[in-house]
Each structure stands twice: as C-alpha cells, then as structure tokens.
Amino acid sequence: MGEGWLLPDRLFDGQRLREGVGLRVAAGKVVEVGAAPASARRVRGTLTPGFVDLQVNGGGGVLLNTKPTRDGIATIAAAHRRFGTVAILPTVITDHRDVLAQSAEAVMAARDVPGVIGLHIEGPHISVSRKGTHASEHVRPMDAHTMEIVQRLRQNDVPVMITLAPEAVTAAEISALVEMGAVVSLGHTDATAEEVEAAMAAGATCATHLFNAMSPMLSRAPGAVGAVINSECFAGIICDGHHVADSMVGLALRARPRPDRMFLVSDAMASVGGPDAFTLYDAEVKLVDGQLLNTAGTLAGAHVTQAQGVARLVHHVGATLEDALRMAITVPADVMSCPELQTLVGRNASDVLLLDAACTLTATLEESLATVDSTD
C-alpha cells in the first residue's frame, strides 16, 4: 500500500474543513495531519473520516428485526460501508420481546465486526398514535424486560441508544436508563412540549428523526417538535427529500439555540445495498419513486445513505460542506461519546473517504492509495 504524505484539495479533520493541510499514511493508517512537505502527492477532492449513522435498520437485503444475528449485523454494516458509512448503530424497532433480546445478543456477538458501535433500541415504548410503521400490537409501556436488556448491554460495555415516548415511561425510568449509561432519545411521541421538557429534565439528551412521528409545532402548542428545536438536546434528522422538506431541515438548523446539536441519520432499511423490496412484520415494503412504502402506503424507513444525505444538505438545504460533515461525523460521535470516530489520526485508510467537488463519494483512502501505487 502507498505510504507517505498526501495533500488533498481540502481535508476535514473531524472539526474543521481545511485547505493546505495534508496527512501522512504509514502501514495502512493515518499517522499524522499537518503541513505537507513539497514532496507530498496531490489528491483531488476532500479527504474526511467516514460517516457515522446512529439509526440503521438494515442494509444489503437484511433487516435487524428479521435477522437478529451476528451475521445479519455484519451484512448490514458491510452494505453501508460500501457507501462510506464506517460506523453504525444497528437499530431494532418495535417487535416481540424475543426479537429485542436476540438483537441484544447479536450485537454483543458482533463487537468484532468493523464499524458496529452498539445498539439502537427504537421502541417498543412509544405512542400508538405516532407509531409510524411500527407494529401497534407490540407497543407497550416500559417494562422490566427492556430495562434488564439495557443493563446487560451496558454491563458488557455496549453503547446503547433507546428511543421512547415520554408518555410511555416515567421520569424515574428515564433517569435509571441514563444512570446505566444509555442515551435516551425521545421519539414516536404525541407528548406535549411540557412532557418533552420533563423527560429532558429527567435525563433524555436526544430526539429521534426530528419532525417525523412526533407531535407537530403549532402556534399555541409547541409539541414535541417545538420543544426539541428550542432545547439544547441532540436531534437526528433524515435528509432524503421525502421524510422532511428541505426547507424545514434548513429552518431547524437555523433555529437551534446551540450549534452542533443536529445530526444526520439515514433510518436506512434493507433496500440500501439490497433489493427494492423486503418483508417487515410479514408484509412487503417496496421502493416507489425513492420512497419505501408499506402496504398501507405509509413511509417505512428510508432508502438513503449518509453520503446522499450529506450531498443533499449541501446542494438542497444550503448547508456548508463543513457543517454537513459535522452532522454526519462529529455530532453523532459526540452523541455516543466516541471521539475516535471524529479523528483522522490513527484511522485505517479504509475508514477515510475521498469526496469530489460535488460531495460525491469517489473512493476510500485505501482505494485511492492502491490507485496511486498502480500508476507509480
């Protein structure tokens, strides 16, 4: 593999987008970032750490809910890696108790799978009226089963995000989850702004896919959307042009009272890197004009990658590339307390991406070095 100094047009170091800065590769890893010597090889495009996605239901034809195994998780992670997402939270949505337990065991068995951060438990402790595509027969208030699974994961040092509705849990249960070390995210909720604020006071620090499956913001009733936007908590958002209008994504970005509190999620399903149809809850979900629709015509997750989300943030929402990359790398790494995912130094060349002027993923650094080697 090629080694030595490389000088890209631009370099995102996990915090800032910089020009005139290079990186040095040795033994397949980035070992230094700084002023490049005159002998550095020029690289056209932007070098950046790979993307981080905290809401990945599936990929490569596999859903975690339908294949809650180590192999299933490995297939999902590999599918997203093809599109530049090098770190994921496999996500299990509302389902039978056994599916949640099996997903937890699978994630613990998959700790050696590259890019698997932990587990995102989305439901079943949500609002039936804001369930989206989640199966209503499995929706239930918080129970000891889920608490025990989260505790077991945390005792095994597995990071956990759990999405729940404030109306499905008590403040004491939220506090207990936080004390275990779980990231509590609010979503699939019909709660009032006051209920959301109380859940935040109890320790919730995040919100799941802002705008989608939550009580809307009205002039005299801020709802969950208004409470989240007006708070300092983190919030994920889907940027595929279907789940949230681009203008509303931009509005939310401008309205937050504190910077670096918005992050990009894909909410990706099995169709990413897989076939255009799959089964969820024994019913078919099809890709139609870029949207994944279940038999009721309801959106059932998303068919989008983080790379596409970054490009849309820049070209349709009007975000700077630096801000878009922070939303796809820096902020989600902060949410899960994984600073190593933000940096370049120490990363494998396969975890570093090359983007062209249109923000399109063209290669990994590993692939780019191999190309340089073949032409030397």
Do 284 and 362 fall into the same domain? Answer: no
Do 233 and 356 fall into the same domain? Answer: no
Strand partners, 26: 29
Do 44 and 57 fall into the same domain? Answer: no
User: Is it the case that residue 48 has pLDDT exceeding 80?
Assistant: yes
Do 169 and 121 fall into the same domain? Answer: yes
The pLDDT of residue 1 is: 44
State the CATH number of the domain containing residue 44: 2.30.40.10
User: Is residue 351 annotated as a catalytic residue, yes or no?
Assistant: no
Do 229 and 259 fall into the same domain? Answer: yes
The pLDDT of residue 376 is: 44
3-state secondary structure of 369: helix
User: Is it the case that residue 3 has pLDDT exceeding 90?
Assistant: no
User: Is it the case that residue 47 has pLDDT exceeding 90?
Assistant: yes
pLDDT of 50-60, one tens digit each?
999 999 999 99
Choose among 212, 230, 233, 309: nearest CA to 268.
Answer: 309
pLDDT of 98-135, one tens digit each?
999 999 999 999 999 999 999 999 999 999 999 999 99
pLDDT of 305-346, one tens digit each?
999 999 999 999 999 999 999 999 999 999 999 999 999 999
Catalytic hit among 13, 95, 267, 323: 267
Mean pLDDT value of segment 369-373: 68
3-state secondary structure of 231: coil
At position 373, the amino acid (one-letter code) is D
Do 178 and 266 fall into the same domain? Answer: yes
The pLDDT of residue 372 is: 56
Q: Which two tokens stand for residue 180?
A: 């275990």
Do 355 and 325 fall into the same domain? Answer: no
Do 111 and 35 fall into the same domain? Answer: no
- Residues 6+ away with beta carbon under 8 Å from 38: none
3-state secondary structure of 251: helix
Mean pLDDT over each residue of the chain, to the nearest integer: 96
Poorest-pLDDT segment among 253-262, 296-305, 316-325:
296-305
3-state secondary structure of 149: helix
In the chain, pLDDT over 70 holds for what percent of residues? 98
Euclidean distance between CA atoms 128 and 134, whole angstroms? 9
Count of CA atoms in the C-beta half-sphere (13 A) of 230: 12
At position 138, the amino acid (one-letter code) is H
pLDDT of 223-247, one tens digit each?
999 999 999 999 999 999 999 999 9
Euclidean distance between CA atoms 44 and 59, whole angstroms? 30
| Residue 81 Cα distances to 23, 75, 76, 291, 369, angstroms | 22, 10, 9, 22, 18
Do 122 and 10 fall into the same domain? Answer: no
Euclidean distance between CA atoms 121 and 247, whole angstroms? 29
Do 113 and 123 fall into the same domain? Answer: yes
The pLDDT of residue 374 is: 42
| First CA to last CA distance, the chain | 12
Euclidean distance between CA atoms 330 and 333, whole angstroms? 5
Burial of 134 (0-12, 13-18, 19+ CB in 10 A): buried
Do 109 and 233 fall into the same domain? Answer: yes
pLDDT of 54-100, one tens digit each?
999 999 999 999 999 999 999 999 999 999 999 999 999 999 999 99
Poorest-pLDDT segment among 185-189, 194-198, 230-234, 370-374:
370-374
Euclidean distance between CA atoms 322 and 327, whole angstroms? 9
3-state secondary structure of 275: coil
User: Phi first, then psi: what are they for 221, rounded to 5°?
Assistant: -145, 90
State the CATH number of the domain containing residue 187: 3.20.20.140
Do 43 and 74 fall into the same domain? Answer: no
Check if the beta carbon of residue 7 is closer than 8 Å to that of residue 22: yes
Residue range of the domain that includes 116: 51-341
At position 321, the amino acid (one-letter code) is L
How many domains, in total, are found in the chain?
2
At position 101, the amino acid (one-letter code) is A
Euclidean distance between CA atoms 357 and 355, whole angstroms? 7
Q: Which two tokens stand for residue 162?
A: 């759990």
DSSP 148: H
